[in-house]
Structure formats: C-alpha cells, structure tokens
Chain A
Amino acid sequence: MKKMLEVELLKLKNSWVLLVATLAPGFMVFQGVANFLRYYELFTSRGQNVWHQIYLQSSIFYVSAMLPVLITLIMVSIARIEYKSGGLRYFLTLPVKRSGVYAAKLIVGCMVCLFNVLVFSLSLLVAGKIINAPGSIPYDILARPFMAYIASLPVMIITFLLSINISQMAIPLGIGIGLALPSLLVANTRYWVFYPWTYPIMAALGGDFFEKAYFPFAAGFLIFVLLAFAGLRWFMEKDILD
C-alpha cells in the first residue's frame, strides 16, 4: 500500500496539481485580506476581532467556490493521468490488488485536498502576522478550515467516482463545477441539507447560527463511506477494457 501511495504521488509530481493546490489558497487569502484592509473601518468599527474578520473575508469564496472547484480539478487530474496514457488499463492487468489501486488514488486525492486546506490555514496565519493583527490567534479560525475539509468529503468522493469512471475529462469537470456554482445560493435556503456542496460552507461559515450544526459532518462522513464502498465494489468488477 505504501508503495502504491508513493507511485500515485510520483505521478502527480509534474502535473501542476500540487502547485495549484499550493498557490490557490494563498491567492484567496490575499484577496480576503485586501478586501478587509479596504473596508477596515467597517469591519472593525464595532470592535470585531481582526483575526476573525480576516478569516471571514478569506473563506467566503474559498469554501463556496474555490475549494469545490479545486477538489474537482484534483480528482480529475488524478484520474486523467491514467486515462491519458491508457495507464489504468495497464495497471489493472498487473498483479496488484484492485482495492489497493482504488484506495491509493482516493487517499492521494484526499491528501492533496488536505494539503490545500493546510496551506489556506497557514496563509491566514502569515497574512495576520503581516498586517500585525492584534491579540492572540483564535485557534477556531485554524480548526474551521479542517471542519470544512471533513464536510467536503462527499464532494471529494462524488467527483472522484465520476473522474475514475468517465474517461471524458469534461464530464466530471462540468458536473463538479456546475454543482459548485449554485452552492452559495442553496446554502441560504432550508434545502441545503440535500446539497452536499453546501456542507463546507455551513461548516466554515455557519457558526452557531444554523441549526443541525452536526449535520454536515455526520452526513458528509456517511455519504463518503457509503459511496467509497459502492465505488470500490464497482471498481473491483470493472472490465479492464472499459
């Protein structure tokens, strides 16, 4: 398994995915901080915590637009490497466990997404220090992105399954992006529970204001596990020539 994970990571080495996963959160924090500084008076007029304001400005579009789109790009990239060179067909003819191949790809995909969230948290800290944000760092602003990550698990597994099943890259890409776009609108309705793309938004920005605070994590984890096993079962039975 360790070897398989290493192989998967090696495949990503020259695919730009790691660079994108590193740079994108930095840009989001940059635009969030720029917006905060632009409306500094407004955002601090009632004695609001500067760290919280930086987090809020940076994460609004990060969790609603950037994170789901990046997850789609990451999962599509992982699958595309195989479809591009016919590698999956070759891979499946080798004496390796199919479950191992499936798990390695899924784990690496989730790891790259986690790395993206880590960079986001780190960028928040660096940005706060650069603008000399007063007071100690409230650690909930570091925990929230991870909560958003856990709530993103259904998005990860859905885009992973679409990417690994469909050789046409545009289909998972279109579905992933198409479903990510309305998430900010759906998150403002009571129907958000039916739309997994809203879970990271609720986890990162919902605060204590929304009911069913446990829901994105419980439902997200459950959907992930169910779909991961269903996908594994399908992958085990997949015809090499498909």
Chain B
Amino acid sequence: MRKFFDLLWTDIIKQKRSLVWPAAFLAPLITEALLFLDFYLRRDYILNRAAKEGLSAWQTLVLEHHLTALWFITLPMAVTVVCALLYHAEHASGGLRYTLSLPVGKGRLYLSKWCTGAIFLCLMLLLDALMLAAVGKIFRLPGGLDYQLIMRYIANQTVAAVGIMSLQMWLSAIAANVILPLAAGFIGITTSLFLAQDQNIARIIPYAHVLYTMPLPGENNRLALEGGIFFAAFFLVAGLLCFSKKDVTE
C-alpha cells in the first residue's frame, strides 16, 4: 500500500509545473466567466422565466451554468485534455518506459495515474462549485445559499465524469500518440450532444452522462449515476488489463 501512495505522490509531484493545472482550472474559470456575463446581462429575465417554471433562483443558477454556460460540454472536454496530458508527459519523455522497468507493478502504476486524474477532477469540480456559489452570492440570488443543491450537483458530476475519466485514461495509456485519445474524446463528446437527448442511447455513451447531472425536478440523475459507476469500473478494469499486458518497449 505504501508503494502505491509513493507512486501517487510522485505522480502528483510530476505535475508540479505541468500544464495539467491550467487545463484543469481554466475550464471552470471560462464557464464561470460565461455564467457571470449571462447573469450580468439578463439576471431579471432569467429569474422571472425560471420562477414561472417553478424553479428556485439557485436551481436556475445551476441550470444556466450547466446548459447556457456549456458546462455539460466543457467538463468532458477538460477531463479529456487532463487525462491526455497526464500520459503525454510520460510518453514524450520516455518516463513510462523507465517506470515500467522498475519493480512497482503495472497495476499499481496504472491505478496511481487513475487516482491522479481523479484528484484533478475533484479539484476542478470543487473550484467550479466554489465559483458557482460565488456567482450566486454576487448577484444576490433570493434565498440563502442552497448547499444541498450544490453538493448534490457536485456528487452527480463527479460520478458521471469519473466514467469519462476512466475511458480517457485507458485510451491515453494505450496510445502513444496523444492525438488519438484527444480526437476520440472530442468526437465522442460532440457526437453525443444530440444523441444524449434519447435516454436509451445516452445510457450507453459515457460522454452523454454529464448532461443528466443537474439535481433538478424531472432530471434523470439515476442515468448519470448508474452509467458513471458502471463505465468507471468497466474501463478501469479494461485499462488495468491492457496496461498490465503492455510491453515496456512499446
């Protein structure tokens, strides 16, 4: 177990000056900037319209954040980029070949990378949630800060995004050419935008699950949660199996 935590710590240290940090933090920053502009330009209109539909001000904030500010696209894209960058540094410097030649176990190595990705994902979602609450406070949304809503929103997103992360980690680990996992991710995300509207199809596309993470009335959060857990486990096992068979010289 200690070896695993050493590996995990090494992986995190490796990212100290890497571009994974800006990639992970710019995504929520851009989205919140868009949300801020959206509320700055049409706060009253948005709140009035939402009130007619029976949504509270904080629920409206989540809705605008998710759909209008395009977080449902930005989050999967950011996850794709972060996963690709985590492995790109290794493939580019030959570090993976060196680490694979050490007596650490391929499974542990893959798991430590997977956990590094999960840590960055959690940091990204935490930052996003903090900024989301800040935007709500800046625009003095009626009613106190809805902690429960935001916590549920983060939890749903974490589970749904872990499914994507697991898939992207697997693709990034097996492909030495970084373009491949990036292209697969971007094509998957953009292709699923329309397909995700059909819940039966959305169930089998991990990229579509983020769309169903808003904790609002009528939203099928179960689809995101079940899909996220299933694909996270499935692609983690697939990744572990593929990586453990990976040739050191590849």
List the interface of chain A (C-beta within 8 A of B).
15-17, 20, 23-24, 27-28, 30-32, 34-35, 38, 57, 61-62, 65-66, 69-70, 73, 76-77, 80, 84, 168-171, 173-174, 177-178, 181-182, 184-185
B180 located at the interface, meaning its Cβ lies under 8 Å from any Cβ of chain A in the complex = yes
Nearest B residue to A27 via CB reads: B191
* Cα separation A66 to B187 with both chains bound (whole Å): 7
Q: Which residues of chain B have C-beta atoms less than 8 A from A169's C-beta?
A: 88, 178
CA distance A16 to B177 in the complex (A): 8
- Tell me which residues across on chain A come within 8 A of B26, comparing CB atoms: 174, 178
CB within 8 A of A65: which of B178, B179, B190, B195? B190
Select one of B27, B187, B195 contacting A20, CB under 8 A: B187
Decide yes or no: A65 and B197 within 8 Å by CB, A17-B179, A73-B183, A182-B30 being known contacts: no
A35, B180: Cβ atoms under 8 Å? no
> Min CB distance, A37 to chain B, in Å?
11
Residue of B whose beta carbon sits closest to that of A171: B19
Q: A174-B81, A185-B70 are in contact. List 19 more A-B contacts (CB 8 A).
A: A20-B183, A24-B186, A27-B190, A27-B191, A28-B191, A31-B193, A31-B195, A69-B186, A73-B183, A73-B186, A77-B179, A170-B22, A170-B23, A170-B81, A173-B81, A173-B182, A174-B22, A182-B34, A184-B70
Distance to closest chain B CB from A162 (angstroms): 13
> In terms of DSSP, what is the predominant structure of the interface of chain A?
helix
Chain B, 34-61, contact with A by CB distance < 8 Å: what is the 0/1 string? 1000000000000000000000000000
Q: Is the CB of B88 within 8 A of A35?
A: no
Interface residues on B, range: 20 to 34
Which residues of chain B have C-beta atoms less than 8 A from A173's C-beta? 81, 182
Q: Are B19 and A61 in contact (CB under 8 A)?
A: no
Which residue on chain A has the smallest CB distance to residue B41? A189
| Contact of B99 with A by CB under 8 A | no
The majority secondary structure among interface residues of chain B is helix
Would you call B92 an interface residue if the criterion is a C-beta within 8 Å of the partner chain's C-beta atoms? yes
* Cβ A30 vs Cβ B191 within 8 A: yes
Q: Are B81 and A24 touching (Cβ within 8 A)?
A: no
> Is the CB of B194 closer than 8 A to any CB of chain A?
yes
Say how far A138's CB is from chain B's closest CB, in angstroms.
22
Report B-chain residues with C-beta under 8 Å of the C-beta of A73.
179, 182-183, 186
Please encode chain B, from 56 to 85, with 1 for each CB lying within 8 Å of some chain A CB and 0 for all others: 000000000000111001100100010001
Closest Cβ neighbor of B88 among chain A residues: A169
Closest Cβ of chain B to A213, distance in Å, is: 25
Q: Are A38 and B178 in contact, with the CB atoms below 8 A?
A: no
State the CA gap A84–B195 with chains docked (Å).
37
- In the bound assembly, the distance between CA atoms of A178 and B70 in angstroms comes to 12
Residues of chain A with a CB closer than 8 A to B195's CB? 31, 34-35
Q: How far is the CB of A109 from chain B (nearest CB, A)?
A: 14
- 16 A-B pairs, CB-CB below 8 angstroms? A15-B177, A15-B179, A16-B177, A16-B180, A24-B187, A27-B187, A38-B197, A73-B179, A73-B182, A77-B179, A174-B19, A174-B22, A177-B186, A181-B30, A182-B30, A185-B70
- Interface: B192 (CB within 8 A): yes
B187, A170: Cβ atoms under 8 Å?
no
Q: In the complex the two chains form, is A178's CB within 8 Å of B19's CB? A: no
Given contacts A61-B194, A84-B92, contact A181 B183 (CB under 8 A): no
Distance between B37 CB and nearest chain A CB, rounded to angstroms: 8
Inter-chain CA distance A62–B77, complex, in Å, is: 15
